Structure 1
């Protein structure tokens, strides 16, 4: 059997996985938990998911396993009104939630919290997911509890804690493009009923899924490659350790992790032009034509370290929590700078960050009508960027600094941020509950920008008061409606040549949550309106003689949206999910923006860049028993994602795309064998197109598939 026929067989098998659950008869209980069984902690206390008056999508450990979620994209693609875009660097991605997107050089629009520690930038969040207990995605501003990074929402990741018994797992995966991943974890009590430990880690490798369209053999000083060769190889190793003490009132958790990665960089290509020398908008998504045509394969070296100490003490009426976290990332990228077969320009980039966080909070205990939480937060952070763009030196080894530099810039920003916050709920009646919250954030920044021999010093203070008010009403057991007013804040900052302002948002939301048919059907929905001020928009200017990155603010944008999530369990072994997200953005005011962006005077009434107007998801999971101790588990997910514009003028747009993932697993109590596939329809789209100059684009990931084996003990 040929490689092509094997790929065709695997694709058809995985596509069938999504349909099989609808055809099989009733049998055993499916592993995915229902919404009514899930406990969430995203509001910094344990609550039943269906009793939380927020729109929250939850991925339990079973769902993570069944859907083969191994990274950020894995769960983002299953969440309404949330999209992720790859960039030209392996370890950086951008998120868009409810019409609010990421700007390069700015904070993400979504707070990303791992085991209680808030990570600080896009460079921290795109890591492999390993040994995860639960992922919670809250949509809507979460400024009261999470501050300036939560203008659109929050993502809360909880890793698996050490257990009371010796246990562990080992898993191996192999897929196309010579992709493989080996992962394992072991947990054990060190001192009975007191001290516990858990260690986990993984190693992964791939030759890369994106191929070259050019011939690099003419430039012998660089990696030799020919048309069709893979140009985005990637490998990464990670180890994480946890030590936890559990006493009667005191709990102490110490965690640390280390990641070492060698990835790829700068695999962009230039969108074709028509006979008149203008961009051919109809070919934006034709990422295979012409494809990557650079004369060298870029590289990315990444080191990531983090650690945290969490101390919880139960005083009876209240609990005290102290969370201390430190994280650092070191990234060095080198690659082609002109993205043509000619040896003209190379680029050398460094992105380094160090972040220290400290949070202390008090939380009321019990089930009294009045419950509250109050605390303080401090962050000390330094971001360092170096960018060198210059003529390629064909005599140096790959990875050296470009010679004859046309741009040599260092940018260092020191940030000192602090916040005070509080939130309280009160049961006005047995059915009516009121919530009020307030947070003050302050972020002081000092920036030093060195461009050639010019040294520029700047400082700024960004601050905001973020109130929240909510009423929720329980009409009956399992049915609740709520109305929320909340605010969001994202700090401003500095780019290579500009300072941009902070963003604010005012969010008005009406929603309901309901369970029906004896908890066989759950329906959650909300409608929202966002008054969005000073939207941050980044841009890249790329021409044969100049390269510049910057950011501007769009004074006013309105966002109208709707979300619907449905989970049904028609039989004990079958679970079906569906979700719809709508986000209609409307630019209401533009000011005198950067001249490099061109004429934006006609942008009033346009859609915001990088925002899909809709997402639709449909998924199914079915567990079919083969014997008393063996099951066959089918999981399939379909996603339709609306297109979005890349520019404020709304001239460059990617099309709507359909994506299918599937997994079939043979499972016993201890071992699992599985076939899996992602983007099985091989839908190809551009995820980024630069605003002016040479229209550089980044392609999405093509189809991948493979086999997996795991053993639990």
Structure 2
């Protein structure tokens, strides 16, 4: 490991080294929890489609409870991943475009995420839904490693399970208002109660944000990162009998925002943050999200039948400067429309015996239309010079099952399998030419866990993951078809609780062989965007997560990730062999400290500091352009008295500047390199009223 990498990791490793060894227990199995004031909060998860203690699940999982989410100011998936070792997310171009990297497997532009994202049992059908705001949450669970057996074809590197708050019988209402620099105003309302006690329960939330922006376009003298959004969510749970529960959900999001405020750079300077946004066109766009779902749970002899039906629509449009210079040369626009209908049916056995299992089937039907148009300045007028429409139809079917069997006291065997078939069709509206191709894969998983004592468990896992291939837009620039990806992963892990459960320490080591990795290219002269495959790559890593209650009211957390990723074979010629996989941090860590103290009059004060660090990463397969390590510090101070909580916060305390995205001209066909700037320092005040 490089010296600067080792120096960067020393603070995290020092904290992890302070964790004391586990004390021996006389009996195998989980002992009842004692009720001391020093115990850490116990977290339950539904990662395996049933309720279990986090520390009893033989998978690498990071889970944040409602209190942890609020204490850390989480407002989106990107905020969650800041605290998860080995995972990261970068947002650029427009509000719906993201790049998620998980254990050396990255997302590509126009491609699907390497992690399945599920909200209240419904998987997101489009990556353009990922950046929606998250609030009124009960829990977020991040599963790492291939999770395709239960979560499907896009869980090649993991899954994110998001659980919103359920309605209850007791009436409750929460109002949340926030002011921050850049003219940022937010208001969120949430209410819950029973229409018929124990039979019809309702919860609804509404959010509004208006943000003037912090990043200035120097040419136009206007803020480039403005945003206005309305969001809403409603949930009705109907329980006609003791054995039947019907969960009805709906949500919407209307977002208007700045887009594509890239900065043109001299060659090979991805860390040059001194040049401002200079485009002569103010990029802007909108996104409309609509989601409805119905979930039926029917308890029968031996288990529960669950049926989940969902519909979602995504409409996104943006217009941008395509030369990113003060001169009027090129512009572009893109219109995206996605509609999806899904149906899942499964049976989950009771957890009363040594054998527990889940079996089910899944169906997804997706329509996706994209139109990309490029305009050029011809004689002082912007004229269309390239128009690339495409219409895609995707039908996916899957059958899956997983069983857990206690083969001996303290020893559990897990066997799982899923078969996916993904039938894709693309039509060129200009010519009527249609392409069709099917992508099929088996996704097995086997795991064995063994309790060393009541508070320590070791496990070993082998799993295969799959992400479907697809079609590039019919441009004539890129190959018509990009291949499906496959991941073959091995993992060893250790989960432990120590010092009367005041300390939790989880460790894991993994190795993943990765075939046909998808990577993104852009030809700016034609507007064509394409995905090509890296033949073979490898990722090996170590992860550690520590949570500790150091004293009454004083909690600490630390996480570390080390990833050694490399391209084994790019295209069979030796090109780029041994290079780092793009958008993968070789090392990262997060440190947090929180202290709560009681004040006179029944109030309390909570202070929190979080420090995250990410090592250098390569933006392209040639590794010529790398981002320097990024170090960020966030502060929060909350005063709670009765129903009122006031919080002041600072994000990016030292106003660190870096490139979230970078594209070298050699890979996108432009006249210059471009970068996407990060969000500057944020200062804000939030008030929450609960009654």
Same fold (TM over 0.5): yes
- Flag the 1:112–1:31 CA change in 2: closer, same or farther, 3 A: farther
**Residues 67 and 636 in structure 1, CA contact (< 8 A), matched pair in contact too:** no
Scaled by the length of structure 2, the TM-score of the pair is 0.91
**Counterpart in the other structure of 1:675:** 648
Is 1:483 matched up with 2:463? no
Match of 1:708 among 659, 679, 686: 686
Residue aligned with 1:149, SS: coil
Is 1:164 matched up with 2:146? no
Q: Tell me the distance in 1 between the aligned counterparts of 2:623 and 2:307.
A: 47
Q: Tell me the distance in 1 between the aligned counterparts of 2:638 and 2:384.
A: 54
1:628 CA drift (Å) = 4.7
1:97 CA drift (Å) = 0.5
1:91 CA drift (Å) = 2.8
**Counterpart in the other structure of 2:84:** 79
Is 1:258 matched up with 2:263? no
**Residues 86 and 700 in structure 1, CA contact (< 8 A), matched pair in contact too:** no
**Residues 39 and 502 in structure 2, CA contact (< 8 A), matched pair in contact too:** no
**Counterpart in the other structure of 2:224:** 231
Unaligned runs of 5+ in 2: 1-34
1:393 CA drift (Å) = 8.7
Q: Tell me the distance in 1 between the aligned counterparts of 2:409 and 2:108.
A: 44
Is 1:443 matched up with 2:443? no
Once the two structures are superposed, what CA deviation does each residue of 1:464-501 show, in whole Å capped at 9, x if it has no partner? 00111111000100100000000100001122243200
Match of 1:527 among 494, 502, 509: 509
1:688 CA drift (Å) = 1.7
**Counterpart in the other structure of 1:328:** 313
Match of 2:611 among 638, 642, 645: 638
Once the two structures are superposed, what CA deviation does each residue of 1:667-699 show, in whole Å capped at 9, x if it has no partner? 023111110111112111112222423322211
Residue aligned with 1:65, SS: helix
Residue aligned with 2:216, SS: coil
Is 1:286 matched up with 2:272? yes
- Flag the 1:31–1:181 CA change in 2: closer, same or farther, 3 A: farther
Q: Tell me the distance in 1 between the aligned counterparts of 2:101 and 2:236.
A: 35
Q: Tell me the distance in 1 between the aligned counterparts of 2:284 and 2:548.
A: 46
**Residues 540 and 548 in structure 1, CA contact (< 8 A), matched pair in contact too:** yes
Is 1:360 matched up with 2:345? yes
**Counterpart in the other structure of 1:132:** 137
1:661 CA drift (Å) = 1.2
Residue aligned with 2:69, SS: helix
1:76 CA drift (Å) = 1.0
After the TM superposition, which of the residue ranges 383-392 and 143-152 deviates more from structure 2? 383-392
Q: Tell me the distance in 1 between the aligned counterparts of 2:624 and 2:603.
A: 54
**Counterpart in the other structure of 2:398:** 419
After the TM superposition, which of the residue ranges 453-462 and 97-106 deviates more from structure 2? 453-462
**Counterpart in the other structure of 1:514:** 496
What does 1:149-298 align with in structure 2 at a 5 Å threshold?
Answer: 149-213=154-218, 215=219, 225-226=220-221, 229-246=222-239, 247-272=241-266, 279=267, 281=268, 283-287=269-273, 289-298=274-283
**Counterpart in the other structure of 2:628:** 655
What does 1:402-413 align with in structure 2 at a 5 Å threshold?
Answer: 403-413=382-392
Q: Tell me the distance in 1 between the aligned counterparts of 2:453 and 2:39.
A: 22
Scaled by the length of structure 1, the TM-score of the pair is 0.88
Q: Tell me the distance in 2 between the aligned counterparts of 1:526 and 1:665.
A: 34
1:454 CA drift (Å) = 4.8
1:83 CA drift (Å) = 0.7
Is 1:626 matched up with 2:599? yes
Residue aligned with 1:73, SS: helix
Q: Tell me the distance in 1 between the aligned counterparts of 2:583 and 2:505.
A: 29
Match of 2:555 among 575, 588, 592: 575
After the TM superposition, which of the residue ranges 63-72 and 476-485 deviates more from structure 2? 63-72
Once the two structures are superposed, what CA deviation does each residue of 1:161-191 show, in whole Å capped at 9, x if it has no partner? 1111110100100000000100010111001
Q: Tell me the distance in 2 between the aligned counterparts of 1:574 and 1:394.
A: 67
Q: Tell me the distance in 1 between the aligned counterparts of 2:297 and 2:416.
A: 23
**Counterpart in the other structure of 1:4:** none
In the alignment of these two chains, the number of paired residues is 648
Q: Tell me the distance in 1 between the aligned counterparts of 2:147 and 2:39.
A: 25
**Residues 30 and 621 in structure 1, CA contact (< 8 A), matched pair in contact too:** no
**Counterpart in the other structure of 2:522:** 540
1:338 CA drift (Å) = 1.4
**Counterpart in the other structure of 1:697:** 675
**Residues 38 and 551 in structure 2, CA contact (< 8 A), matched pair in contact too:** no
**Residues 584 and 613 in structure 1, CA contact (< 8 A), matched pair in contact too:** yes
Residue aligned with 1:355, SS: strand
- Flag the 1:30–1:671 CA change in 2: closer, same or farther, 3 A: farther
**Counterpart in the other structure of 2:483:** 501
Once the two structures are superposed, what CA deviation does each residue of 1:389-414 show, in whole Å capped at 9, x if it has no partner? 0125999xxxxxx9422210111110
Q: Tell me the distance in 1 between the aligned counterparts of 2:650 and 2:82.
A: 14
**Residues 262 and 676 in structure 2, CA contact (< 8 A), matched pair in contact too:** yes
Once the two structures are superposed, what CA deviation does each residue of 1:245-267 show, in whole Å capped at 9, x if it has no partner? 12311111100011111111111
1:601 CA drift (Å) = 4.2
1:572 CA drift (Å) = 2.3
**Residues 98 and 109 in structure 2, CA contact (< 8 A), matched pair in contact too:** no
Q: Tell me the distance in 2 between the aligned counterparts of 1:85 and 1:392.
A: 32
Q: Tell me the distance in 2 between the aligned counterparts of 1:79 and 1:394.
A: 52
**Counterpart in the other structure of 1:470:** 447
Q: Tell me the distance in 2 between the aligned counterparts of 1:254 and 1:389.
A: 42
Q: Tell me the distance in 1 between the aligned counterparts of 2:574 and 2:55.
A: 46
1:121 CA drift (Å) = 2.4
Residue aligned with 2:78, SS: helix
**Residues 38 and 552 in structure 2, CA contact (< 8 A), matched pair in contact too:** no
Residue aligned with 1:404, SS: strand
Residue aligned with 1:611, SS: coil
Unaligned runs of 5+ in 1: 1-28, 216-224, 273-278, 396-401, 593-599
Once the two structures are superposed, what CA deviation does each residue of 1:128-153 show, in whole Å capped at 9, x if it has no partner? 01111110000111010011010000
Residue aligned with 2:152, SS: helix
**Counterpart in the other structure of 1:66:** 71
Q: Tell me the distance in 1 between the aligned counterparts of 2:152 and 2:681.
A: 38
Q: Tell me the distance in 2 between the aligned counterparts of 1:426 and 1:374.
A: 15
Q: Tell me the distance in 2 between the aligned counterparts of 1:394 and 1:120.
A: 43
